[in-house]
Amino acid sequence: MAGAVTAHLSQEASKRPKHITESAGVRWLLISIALVFLSLAVVMPLVSVFIEAFKKGFDVYKAAITDPDALSALRLTLFVALIAVPLNAVFGISAAWAISKFRFKGKNFLITLIDLPFAVSPVISGMIYILLFGAQGFLGPWLDKHDIQIVFALPGIVLATIFVTVPFVARELIPLMQAQGVQEEEAAAVLGAKGWQIFWRITLPNIKWGLLYGVILSNARAMGEFGAVSVVSGHIRGETNTLPLHIEILYNEYQFSASFAVASLLVMLAVLTLLVKALFEWKTNQGASHEKLN
């Protein structure tokens, strides 16, 4: 599903002869409707976060994001992403390698399985770990006896975050690596390169921008995950609260400005993600036009 998100705007597509495009009036009408729709639906929420955040002045903003609970939520969020994102990146590379470089039966089925976490409601993604590790869960009594806590503690938050972000890197890399084919790698192998040598010298440089975007996107999703983490966190302030959960608490306590101030940090992360994506597309387009010239 995330794979669908990568599309490139080619320049030539927009230059069309007159007889197969609309008249200027219709054209500008359609553009205007699209722009109004996107401003209402996307731009306005984005802008409103910053306006609400600074409504009570810069001091309230600064106090909200330097509050000890906010800082501990930030630390927890960073820590969780630091575990979840690299694991899913390794998984994504490994899955994309198997799927794009080899032929085997059931490939489409495997891709569907990788997509599963997309289709599952975040609340259910959190719930499954409660069913496994909670007090009434399958492993609950055993964990209790050995004094290991997974749900309502850090490991549960990490697991739920990993679950939710499993598909992102894989779904960026699979179409990219499929399009690149196997010729370069095969040539290297015939010339006697070892497996890891092929990967580090040939494959990785080819996929680095796609990989970067996949990693940044799964990082944004990992840091922003709300539903799944909410189920397994236990909401212990200063201990198991991530940034999105902290935003919810502030909001429910009617501390709106503080809530939006913390939210603005995550908005900046989202904007950064989009910038990296634009860079990725620019680099791929550049590569494509370079190839065309050759």
Q: Show contacts with other proteins in window 242-261 (CB under 8 A).
A: 243-245, 247-248, 251, 256, 259-260
Query: Contact at 8 Å (CB) between 150 and 129?
Result: yes
Alpha-carbon gap, residue 24 to 246, rounded angstroms: 49
Count residues binding other proteins (CB under 8 A).
Answer: 114
Residue with tokens 């994504």: 92
Q: Convert residues 69-88 into a mask of x (bound to other proteins by CB under 8 A) and - (unbound).
A: --------------------
For other proteins, give the closer residue by CB, 82 or 139: 139
Alpha-carbon gap, residue 210 to 8, rounded angstroms: 13
For other proteins, give the closer residue by CB, 157 or 263: 263
Residues 7-46 within binding reach of other proteins (CB under 8 A): 7-10, 13-17, 19-22, 27, 30-31, 33-35, 37-38, 40-46
Contact with other proteins (CB under 8 A) among 148, 179, 204, 274: 274
Which of these segments, 58-66, 68-76, 103-111, 284-292, binds other proteins (CB under 8 A)? 103-111
Burial 121-144 (b: 16+ CB within 10 A, else e): ebeebbbbbbebbbeebeebeebe
Query: Contact at 8 Å (CB) between 115 and 103?
Result: no
Residues 196-225 within binding reach of other proteins (CB under 8 A): 198-199, 217, 220-221, 223-225
Q: What are phi and psi of 161, to 5 degrees?
A: -65, -40
Give me 218's structure tokens: 């799964």
Residue among 246, 243, 249, 248 at smallest CA distance from 266: 243
Contact with other proteins (CB under 8 A) among 59, 105, 145, 195: 195
Contact with other proteins (CB under 8 A) among 130, 150, 177, 261: 130
Contact with other proteins (CB under 8 A) among 65, 128, 153, 212: 128
- Torsion over CA: 168, 170, 173, 174 (sign): negative
Contact with other proteins (CB under 8 A) among 73, 81, 150, 185: 185
Kindly state the smallest distance separating residue 289's Cβ from other proteins, in Å: 15
